[in-house]
Homo-oligomer: A and B are copies of this chain.
Amino acid sequence: MNPLVIISRKRDGLALTRDQIFDCITAYVAEEIPDYQMSALLMAIYLKGMNADETCYLTEAMLCSGDQLALTEGHGIVVDKHSTGGIGDKVSLLLAPLLACLGFRVPMLSGRSLGITGGTLDKLESVPGFRATLSPSEIDEITTATGCVICGASDAIAPADKLLYRLRDVTATVGSIPLITASILAKKLAENPAAIVFDIKCGHGALMKTPAMARELGRSLIDTSGLLGLSARALITDMSQPLGMMIGNTVEVREAWVAMEQGEPHDLIELTLALATQLLEMTGRQDLQPSLRKTLVSGEASRKFQEMIARQGGDLEQLPDPAWEYVESPQTGYVSDIDSEGIGRLLITMGGGRMRKEAEINHEAGIKLNYKIGDQVRKGQLLAGVTSPSDSSVLDCLASMITIEPESPELRPLIIDTMY
């Protein structure tokens, strides 16, 4: 295998063969291709794209670079969800236990926060004692007993993806549809699921800024999944404001837990149900549809959530309940815009997120919205809050991210599109 031939082909817009892609990934993991050749190839892929077959081969090559989960048979249909990441997105914390309550098996391999995007593992590590790192046999045991687990992918899962992501991150080649597709799917395929639903966030708080970009990624994810024999659908969902009312780690776990008891906030519950509905349809279990909402909000999912956390060493009862400092609404009117990206950045400055992988996180740092887009607010009402201790500059900054106008704004739908 001559890397120059492969780089030249892609540079010239030609498709790579299955052998070329496998050889290239295998050699890179074996350190037989240097970073400087791989980064030239990544830039060529970024600019020239990959067709459906190439994306499929790349996904397989990355999957085959590592181990796959070996789950004992006969304990439910394996399903999963993947979100491209947004502000306040704690859907996994509700969806995994909900699906487990319905008899599915959810070995959800999740990630950590980076940049403005939160990470499910960081959120769960707010719970005292929680272990995000599990061995393959622990994943098998816990999902056999409880139906769900949320943990990190071990280094043995798709090591090529870790190496490539590290290089993409420092060579401006992250935002490529085929590279994103292969990165997402290589890890998810290691779970060997029967069906998967993608939640593709769209808006200024998301990687995909426009519905067109989100649809392009959705198409690529669904088509590549299909070529690999995996049933897949995607929802394009609005990220022009945070999901739910809470943004942060501890506070999002608490919000998810409370939501499963009280049935709100509305957007969080509805998105969880919509994603679950797609999985029921894909697995031919529409018979479960009537009991979906009740299972989610009757306390059943909440108990499953608590059980899963307990099996991973955590005690949800010990979850801290931070105190809040609030900013008042400067005027009467309607909330017309919430700067999701700004809120994500503010959380990082509060220590609740990280710009570098190595950075420590202050789990308790959090932001709370009392109003969402379209809500009416009166001057002097408590508009939003941050966990204390804080200072006035943080509150001023938060206030500046919430736009209030005299007229009621046009509301955007939470679910922009469903893709098959």
Q: Which residues of A contact B (CB under 8 A)?
A: 4, 7-8, 11, 34-40, 42-44, 46-48, 167, 170-173
Contacts and interface: CB of A to CB of B under 8 A. Distances in A.
A4 B170 CA distance: 7
A170 B11 contact: no
Contacts of A37: 39, 170-171
B47 A171 contact: no
26 contacts: A4-B170, A4-B171, A7-B43, A11-B43, A11-B47, A11-B172, A11-B173, A34-B35, A34-B36, A35-B36, A36-B38, A36-B39, A36-B170, A37-B39, A37-B171, A39-B39, A39-B40, A39-B43, A40-B40, A40-B43, A40-B172, A43-B44, A43-B47, A44-B47, A44-B172, A47-B47
B171 A36 contact: yes
Given A35-B36, A44-B172, 14 more contacts: A4-B171, A7-B43, A8-B172, A11-B43, A11-B46, A34-B36, A37-B170, A39-B39, A39-B40, A39-B43, A40-B43, A40-B171, A44-B47, A47-B48
A355 to B, nearest CB: 13
Q: Number of copies of this chain in the oligomer? A: 2
Which of A34, A40, A42, A46 has the largest number of chain B CB atoms within 10 A? A40
B48 A7 contact: no
Given A35-B35, A36-B35, A40-B42, A171 B48 contact: no
A162 to B, nearest CB: 16
Given A47-B11, A47-B48, A48-B47, A40 B173 contact: yes
B7 A172 contact: yes
Contacts of A40: 39-40, 42-43, 171-173
A249 to B, nearest CB: 27
A37 B167 CA distance: 9
A167 B35 CA distance: 12
A241 to B, nearest CB: 27
A167 B43 contact: no
Which of A8, A11, A38, A48 has the largest number of chain B CB atoms within 10 A? A11
